[in-house]
């Protein structure tokens, strides 16, 4: 039972997410990581690219607490950050 | 947000009632034509989510804009894409006709 009210234009078809749904973080286990990320966004004038390190930290937090399926970070678009990390390792 | 670069965004939801609510959400992208370039890697949508009384939760969306967006002449003037979510209260037996994610 679909209503096609727009003549000639395609209806918007929502697509499910590639990797499924995030379970809710009911206990706010990763809220601190989220806050750090949001703080970065505010300071950078909402430039997403400037805050990728903290976005990655947030997703790592989720993975560690079973709030996200484990996925290699390189596959989530963070390959360049991972490569930087491994280059910087000798200093540690 | 740069096309091709993964990005994280947060929404917040609160259940102001004193009963648990089970909701399910769907999304919309404006302008309409940009929707085909919007790729969600992971989000809170399409699955029932339960919010306890007075509970407030952060709802993340992890996504990227298809790099082909930058090649599409129709998108040349688009510098703002708005993503919105609508929550519906899930009713017994009501399921969106989509593949299930456990």
Q: Please, what is the angle between helix A31-43 and helix A52-64, to 10°?
A: 170
**What pLDDT score was predicted for residue A57?**
96
Hey, where are the domains in chain A?
Answer: 30-85
Task: Give the domain extent around B57.
Answer: 5-89
The answer to whether B82 contacts chain A (CB < 8 Å) is no
The verdict on a CB contact (< 8 Å) between A21 and B101 is yes
Closest-CA residue of A relative to B85 is A14
**What pLDDT score was predicted for residue A20?**
78
The answer to whether B47 contacts chain A (CB < 8 Å) is yes
- Number of structural domains in chain B: 1
Give a yes or no: residue B68 inside a domain: yes
- Chain B closest CA to A10's CA: distance in Å? 9
Please state, in angstroms and rounded to a whole number, the distance separating the CA atoms of residues A18 and A4.
Answer: 27
Give a yes or no: residue B94 inside a domain: no
- Chain A closest CA to B80's CA: distance in Å? 13
**What pLDDT score was predicted for residue B101?**
45
Give a yes or no: residue B50 inside a domain: yes
pTM, entire model: 0.82
Residue linked to tokens 């395609």: A10
Q: In the numeric block, which tokens belong to residue A80?
A: 């360049």
Residue B25: give its domain's CATH number.
Answer: 2.60.370.10
**What pLDDT score was predicted for residue B87?**
84
Interface of A with B in 15-44 (CB under 8 A): 15-22, 24-26, 28, 31, 34, 37-38
In order along its 102 residues, chain B shows pLDDT tens digits of 999 999 999 999 899 999 999 988 888 999 999 999 999 998 887 788 899 999 998 999 999 999 999 999 999 999 999 999 888 888 765 555 555 444
What mean pLDDT value characterizes chain A?
84
Alpha-carbon separation of residue B48 from A17, B36, B72, B93 (angstroms): 14, 24, 35, 12
Give a yes or no: residue B100 inside a domain: no
What tens digit of pLDDT does each residue of A31-72 get? 999 999 999 999 999 999 999 999 999 999 999 999 988 889
Asked if residues B61 and B17 have their Cβ atoms less than 8 Å apart, the reply is no
Whether residue A5 has pLDDT greater than 60: no
Please state, in angstroms and rounded to a whole number, the distance separating the CA atoms of residues A17 and B39.
Answer: 7
Which of B27, B52, B101 lies nearest to residue A20, judging by beta carbons?
A: B101
The answer to whether A48 contacts chain B (CB < 8 Å) is yes
What is the percent of chain A where pLDDT is above 70?
83
Closest-CA residue of B relative to A57 is B8
Give a yes or no: residue B14 inside a domain: yes
DSSP states of A12-68: P-----TT-BPPP-TT-TTHHHHHHHHHHHHHTTS-GGGGHHHHHHHHHHHHHTTSS
Alpha-carbon separation of residue A86 from A20, A55, A61, B5, B58 (angstroms): 29, 18, 19, 21, 31
Residue of B9, B32, B37, B42 to mutate, testing the A interface (most A Cβ within 10 Å of its Cβ): B42
Asked if residues B54 and B16 have their Cβ atoms less than 8 Å apart, the reply is yes
| Greater pLDDT, A2 or A87 | A87
ipTM value, please give it: 0.81
């Amino acid at each position: 039972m679909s209503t096609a009210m727009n003549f000639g234009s395609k209806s918007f078809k929502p697509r499910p997410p590639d990797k499924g749904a995030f379970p809710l973080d009911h206990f706010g286990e990763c809220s601190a990581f989220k806050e750090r990320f949001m703080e970065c966004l505010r300071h950078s004038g909402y430039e997403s690219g400037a805050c990728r390190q903290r976005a990655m930290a947030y997703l790592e937090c989720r993975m560690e607490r079973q709030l996200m399926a484990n996925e290699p970070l390189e596959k989530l678009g963070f390959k360049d950050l991972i490569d930087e990390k491994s280059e910087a390792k000798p200093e540690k | 947000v740069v096309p091709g670069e993964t990005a994280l965004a947060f929404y917040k939801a609160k259940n102001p009632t004193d009963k648990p609510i089970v909701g399910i959400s769907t999304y919309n992208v404006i302008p309409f034509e940009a929707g085909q370039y919007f790729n969600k890697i992971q989000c809170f949508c399409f699955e029932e989510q339960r919010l306890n009384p007075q509970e407030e939760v952060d709802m993340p969306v992890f996504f990227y804009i298809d790099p082909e967006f930058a090649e599409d002449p129709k998108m040349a003037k688009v510098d703002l894409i708005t993503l919105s979510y609508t929550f519906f209260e899930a009713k017994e037996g009501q399921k969106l006709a989509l593949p299930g994610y456990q």
